[in-house]
Chains A and B, each alone.
Chain A
Amino acid sequence: MKTLTCINCPIGCLLTVSVDEHENQCIKGNLCKRGIVYAKAELTNPTRTVTSTVRLRNAAVSQLPVKTSSPIPKGTMRACMLALKYIEVSAPVAAGDVIIENVCGTDTDIIATRSMPAITDLHA
C-alpha cells in the first residue's frame, strides 16, 4: 500500500493506493474525481517541471533562469541538474531560447525563461 497527498486543492486528501487480488489499483481517500486522476498519474509516470539557472556572461546578472519546456520524469531530475552544471550562456538571450536540446533523452528542451540583453547593448 502506498499513500499520496493530493495536490489539487487545499484539502490535500490523503490518498491510499492498494492493489486487489485481480491486480487492480484501488484508490481511496479522495473527496473528488481529481484525486483518482492525480494518483494514477503519480503512480504510473510522475513528472515535474525542473527550474534552475545556468551561468550567464555579458549581462547585468550572472545567472540565467531556465526550465524544462515540459515536465520530465521525476527520476531524471537529478541527471537534468547535472546536465546544467557546466552550461554557460552569453547574453543576449531571449526567453524561450533553447539552451539544451532533448535534455537527458527526455524529449524535452531546457529553455531560457528570462530575456537578458547584452551589457554592450544596454550602454549603446
Chain B
Amino acid sequence: MQTVDLAIIGGGPAGMAAAIGAHEQGIEDIVILERENALGGILNQCIHNGFGLHAFKEELTGPEYAERYIRKVTELGIPVKLGTMVLDITPDKEITAVNPKGMLHIRAKAIILAMGCRERPRGALNIPGTRPVGIYTAGTAQKFVNLNGYLPGREVVILGSGDIGLIMARRMTLEGAEVKAVVELMPYSTGLKRNIVQCLDDYDIPLLLSHTVTEIIGRHRIEGVKVSAVDENQMPVPGSEQFISCDTLLLSVGLLPENELSMAADVSLSPVTGGAVVNERLETTTPGIFACGNVLHVHDLVDFVSEESMLAGRNAARYLQNPEPASRREIPIRSGQGVRYTVPSFMDPDTMDEVLTIRFRVNNVYRNCYICLYFDADRVYRRKARILTPGEMESVVLKKEMFTEHKGVSSITITAEEATNA
C-alpha cells in the first residue's frame, strides 16, 4: 500500500486550490486523484466568461480560470493521477481507487474531499409523462455542445433558471437552436441578473416565473411539454396549462454535493446543504478529513471555491504538522431567522485565525434588511443589505478580538432581519 501525507479527491477548482494551499504551508507529499483525463473539473466545459472577478480582478472564461491553477499545480510539481476514480474511503483514511493501470490502495495521513457536485436528475422531480429521448440536465447538454461540438436538439425548453440553465439558453441559441422558454418554479430566478439580461433578454427568450413543467409528451423523441402556472404552494394552477412544442428539455433544477465517498468515510452530512458538517478549519466529523468547494456546499462563484479550498489546504497542512491539537471548544454556529445554512457550523475561538469568514445563504428574497451576528443573545454585528437572494452566497467575518469581549459564548447565530423603523 502506498502512503501519502495528503490525498485530495478531485482535481477541479477546489482540489487544485487545496493542493496549492497545503503546498504553500510546506506539505509536499500530496496526490490529487482526478477521474477525468485533465485537471480543471467542470470549468473545462464552462467556456463562458465571468469567472475570476474576485480572485484575479479580471473576467476569465472557465478554462482560462482553470488554467491559472493547472499551471500553478504543475509548477509546484504536485503529483496528479488522472483518469483515476476513487471507489472508497475508510474512516481511517485508506483510499481505494482505480484507473486503467490497475487498482490503487493509498493510506493518507490527511484527506481533502473536493469532489464537487452533480445535477439533480428528472427522476428526483417525478415529472409525469413519457420517457423519450431529448431530456438532459443542463450540464450534460453543456458538455455535448462545448466539448463534443453537437447540439442535443433544435427547439429547447429549459426548466429551472439557475445560472447553468441561463448560460445554456444563450449557448444553444448562439449555436443555432431555438430556445422557446425558460420555466422557473419559484417567483424569482436564482440566476444572476446579468445572466438573465445577457442570456435571455438579449435573445428575447421568455422567462416564465412561477411556472413548471407538468407533463412530458412524446413517444420516441420529446415532442413537447405541458407548462402550468403554480400557486404560492408551488402546486399547478388548474386551467393554466399550455403546450410548448420542443425536441429538447433541459433541466437546471439544482445541484447536489456528491458525497457518496464522504459517507463511506463516516463523515456526517448536513441535511440542508447535503455537504459535510465542518468546523472553522473545514474539518469534517472524521478527524483529518477536510472538505471544500461544491462538495461542501454549492457555491455561486468559483472564486469563493478557490478561496475556501486554499484555506482547507492550509488547515490540512496544519493538521499534518500537528495532528493532535489541544482540546477544543466547539461553539455551534446557528442559522437564525431567514438563514438557510452556514459553513462552518462549528468553530473554536481559541484555535481560529485572526479572522474567520462564515459563508451562508438566505432562504428567500429579502429587501432592505440587516445581516446580524449574535453571540448568544447579544448582537455583536449588524450590516444593512439592500437585497439578499437565495442564489447568492453571503458572508460575515468573525474577528478573534470579538471573543475577548464575549468570553463565555455558547452559541453564535446569524440572521437576516427585516429592517424596522425603530
Binding site for B on A (CB under 8 A): 4-12, 31, 48-53, 55, 60-63, 65, 67, 74, 77, 81, 95, 113-115
Known: A4-B197, A63-B149. 14 other contacts (CB 8 A): A7-B197, A10-B192, A10-B193, A10-B387, A11-B387, A51-B61, A53-B47, A53-B145, A62-B147, A62-B149, A67-B49, A77-B174, A113-B64, A114-B67
A49-B49, A81-B174 given; A114·B64 CB < 8 A: yes
**When the two chains form the complex, which single residue of A7, A63, A67, A113 contacts B193, counting CB atoms closer than 8 Å?**
A7
Shortest Cβ gap from A35 to chain B (Å): 12
Establish whether residues A114 and B193, one from each chain, have CB atoms under 8 Å apart when the complex forms.
no
Complex Cα–Cα for A74 and B387 (A): 30
Interface of A is mostly: loop
B202 in the interface, Cβ–Cβ < 8 Å?
A: yes
Shortest Cβ gap from A7 to chain B (Å): 4
Establish whether residues A65 and B47, one from each chain, have CB atoms under 8 Å apart when the complex forms.
yes
B2 in the interface, Cβ–Cβ < 8 Å?
A: no
Establish whether residues B149 and A55, one from each chain, have CB atoms under 8 Å apart when the complex forms.
yes
Establish whether residues B48 and A51, one from each chain, have CB atoms under 8 Å apart when the complex forms.
yes
Chain B 130-157 per-residue mask, 1 if CB under 8 angstroms from chain A, else 0: 0000000000000001111100000000
A51-B47, A65-B63 given; A5·B202 CB < 8 A: no
B242 in the interface, Cβ–Cβ < 8 Å?
A: no
Complex Cα–Cα for A95 and B63 (A): 9
Chain B 319-337 per-residue mask, 1 if CB under 8 angstroms from chain A, else 0: 0000000000000000000
A48-B202, A53-B47, A61-B147 given; A10·B63 CB < 8 A: no
Establish whether residues A52 and B174, one from each chain, have CB atoms under 8 Å apart when the complex forms.
yes
Shortest Cβ gap from B391 to chain A (Å): 7
Shortest Cβ gap from A57 to chain B (Å): 12
Query: A-B pairs with CB below 8 Å: how many?
Result: 80
B392 in the interface, Cβ–Cβ < 8 Å?
A: yes
A9-B387, A11-B387, A60-B38 given; A52·B147 CB < 8 A: no
Interface size class, chain B = 20 to 34
Binding site for A on B (CB under 8 A): 37-38, 44, 47-49, 59, 61-64, 67, 145-149, 174-175, 192-194, 196-198, 201-202, 367, 386-387, 389, 391-392
Interface pairs (7), CB distance under 8 Å:
A7-B194, A48-B202, A60-B38, A67-B61, A74-B202, A95-B63, A95-B67
Complex interface: chain B residues within 8 A of A55 (CB)? 149
Establish whether residues A10 and B146, one from each chain, have CB atoms under 8 Å apart when the complex forms.
no
- B50's nearest neighbour on chain A, judged by CB, is A49
Shortest Cβ gap from A14 to chain B (Å): 11
Shortest Cβ gap from A8 to chain B (Å): 8
Complex interface: chain A residues within 8 A of B389 (CB)? 10
Complex interface: chain A residues within 8 A of B174 (CB)? 50, 52, 77, 81
Complex Cα–Cα for A114 and B66 (A): 9
Complex interface: chain A residues within 8 A of B64 (CB)? 95, 113-114
Establish whether residues B386 and A11, one from each chain, have CB atoms under 8 Å apart when the complex forms.
yes
Shortest Cβ gap from A63 to chain B (Å): 5
**When the two chains form the complex, which single residue of B147, B197, B367, B391 contacts A63, counting CB atoms closer than 8 Å?**
B147
Complex Cα–Cα for A9 and B386 (A): 10
Complex Cα–Cα for A84 and B387 (A): 40
**When the two chains form the complex, which single residue of B63, B147, B392 contacts A113, counting CB atoms closer than 8 Å?**
B63
